[in-house]
């Protein structure tokens, strides 16, 4: 337990952060109630957070205004009436019939009242949200092939590499257990870290930082892929937990999706901000892509077409997008590189000067909103 000074050894810097040496955000607990303090420390630990603890408003102004979240015990609220008003203050107490707690919340400018033990789950979520990304979730993009062999995995890998080159924290998720493994495509199958079988039984909240640190790091990209064993079923709950944790870390998340839509894939589709349907310039591919769009489109909030040549006679990117009734996200250039499996060579999009990498860089420039932009 910490003493009233609030001092305790801080966690080390996160090796996955772009800005090495920055300390993770720490919530502030203000209470003298030892039972309440023990409960709040336990809930912070469940959320993967290292709090500061004080018995009253910290003497330094920044000690009160800088933490992403303040958990104000109802025993200490009266002593904090004159504190600077700030967002992110929650009054925490016990479930008892005491209307005074709501009056204290108004007097201290608290945004809400959470009563334990009933609100424990909600409080863990709020703590984790506060310390894992400052509220801005990752832009999550899914790639799905319009037909078999369209090159969805290739485009997904190239998008992830381009996002990492642009300085984004990037996580690449392989949602296709029969696809051969994105770590292989990135030439990172021997990189140390956990794979999907380690997470298949996951339920509930997963700490985003812990997930990120546990995954293989390949060319600046964290990769959640498959091992070389037999495919392991991933329940929808596990898919939901993994993607939610990845999204809370901010940056960019790229998901390589199979054309087969099962419950786990449906869960992945529902968490996308943007879906890209990759369609070769062939009439049969357009017909197949129409079926994929009909299955995935109702779940994805924003599905767009990416078209690649060469084209059959009479087809072009605009005709194909119109035929699918989808917005056109772009056309891959003719020098976009190999899209057939087993081509060998460097990972797709690894050469920043190549057509595929340039396409992906331009894509991120269009869709990523800079931090702090309106």
158: preceding bond cis by omega (within 30 degrees):
no
Q: What does each of the 374 residues of the chain score in pLDDT, given as a tens digit?
A: 333 333 332 333 333 333 333 456 799 999 999 999 999 999 998 887 899 999 999 999 999 999 999 999 999 999 998 899 999 999 999 877 678 888 899 999 999 999 999 999 889 888 887 877 555 789 999 999 999 999 999 999 999 999 999 999 999 999 998 887 898 899 898 899 999 999 988 777 777 888 899 999 999 999 999 988 887 889 999 999 899 889 988 899 999 999 999 999 999 999 999 999 999 999 999 999 999 999 999 999 899 999 999 999 999 999 999 999 999 999 998 766 666 444 557 899 999 999 999 999 999 999 986 544 44
Q: What is the pLDDT at residue 312?
A: 95
- Return the biggest CA–CA distance within the chain: 77
271 in Cβ contact with 140 (< 8 Å)? yes
Please state, as a whole number, how many other Cβ atoms lie within 10 Å of the Cβ of residue 292: 23
Angstrom distance (rounded) from CA 201 to CA 206: 12
Distance in angstroms (rounded) separating the CA atoms of residues 155 and 337: 10
Instruction: Give the integer Cα–Cα distance in Å for 220 and 251.
Output: 13
Locate 188 and state its tokens: 């990172």
d(Cα 16, Cα 39) in Å, to the nearest integer?
A: 30
CA distances from 50 to 17, 23, 42 (A): 17, 10, 10
Mode of pairing for the β-strands spanning 52-54 and 28-30: parallel
Instruction: Provide the pLDDT for residue 128.
Output: 81
> What does the alpha-carbon distance between residue 177 and residue 196 come to, in Å, rounded to a whole number?
9
Contacts 24+ apart (CB under 8 A), 198-202: 199/224, 199/234, 199/238, 199/241, 199/242, 200/232, 200/233, 200/234, 200/235, 200/238, 201/238, 202/237, 202/238, 202/241, 202/242
Is 311 exposed, middle or buried, given 0-12, 13-18 or 19+ CB atoms closer than 10 A?
middle
| Distance, CA of 44 to CA of 295 (rounded, Å) | 40
**Rounded CA separation 151/145 (Å):** 7
Which residue from 275, 300, 298, 290 is spatially nearest to 321, judged by alpha carbons?
Answer: 290
- Output phi, psi for 233, to 5 deg: -60, 135
What's the CA angle centered on 151, arms 211 and 313, to 5 degrees? 155
pLDDT for 21: 39
By CB atoms closer than 10 A (0-12, 13-18, 19+), residue 46 is middle
């Amino acid at each position: 337990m910490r003493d009233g000074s609030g001092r305790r050894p801080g966690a080390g810097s996160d090796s996955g952060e772009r800005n090495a040496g920055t300390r993770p955000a720490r919530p502030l607990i203000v209470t003298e109630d030892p039972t309440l303090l023990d409960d709040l420390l336990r809930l912070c630990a469940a959320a993967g957070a290292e709090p500061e603890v004080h018995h009253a408003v910290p003497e330094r102004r920044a000690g009160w205004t800088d933490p992403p979240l303040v958990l104000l015990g109802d025993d200490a609220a009266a002593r904090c009436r004159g504190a600077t008003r700030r967002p992110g203050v929650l009054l925490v107490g016990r479930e008892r019939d005491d209307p005074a707690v709501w009056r204290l919340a108004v007097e201290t400018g608290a945004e809400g009242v959470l009563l334990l033990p009933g609100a424990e789950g909600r409080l863990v979520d709020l703590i984790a949200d506060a310390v894992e990304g400052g509220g801005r979730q990752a832009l999550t993009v899914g790639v799905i092939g319009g037909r078999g062999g369209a090159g969805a995995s290739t485009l997904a890998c190239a998008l992830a590499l381009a996002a990492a080159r642009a300085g984004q924290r990037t996580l690449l998720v392989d949602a296709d257990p029969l696809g051969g493994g994105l770590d292989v495509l990135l030439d990172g199958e021997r990189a140390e870290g956990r794979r999907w079988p380690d997470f298949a039984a996951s339920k509930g909240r997963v700490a985003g930082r812990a997930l990120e640190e546990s995954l293989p790091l390949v060319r600046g990209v964290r990769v959640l892929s498959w091992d070389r064993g037999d495919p392991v079923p991933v329940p929808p709950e596990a898919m939901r937990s993994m993607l939610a944790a990845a999204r809370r870390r901010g940056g960019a998340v790229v998901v390589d999706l199979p054309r087969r839509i099962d419950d786990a894939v449906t869960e992945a589709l529902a968490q996308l901000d943007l879906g890209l349907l990759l369609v070769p310039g062939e009439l049969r591919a357009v017909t197949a892509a129409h079926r994929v769009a009909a299955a995935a489109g109702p779940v994805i909030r924003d599905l767009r077409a990416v078209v690649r040549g060469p084209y059959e006679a009479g087809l072009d990117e605009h005709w194909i997008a119109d035929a699918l009734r989808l917005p056109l996200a772009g056309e891959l250039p003719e020098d976009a590189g190999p899209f057939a499996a087993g081509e060998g060579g460097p990972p797709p999009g690894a050469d920043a000067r190549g057509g595929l990498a340039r396409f992906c860089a331009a894509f991120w420039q269009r869709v990523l909103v800079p931090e702090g932009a309106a």
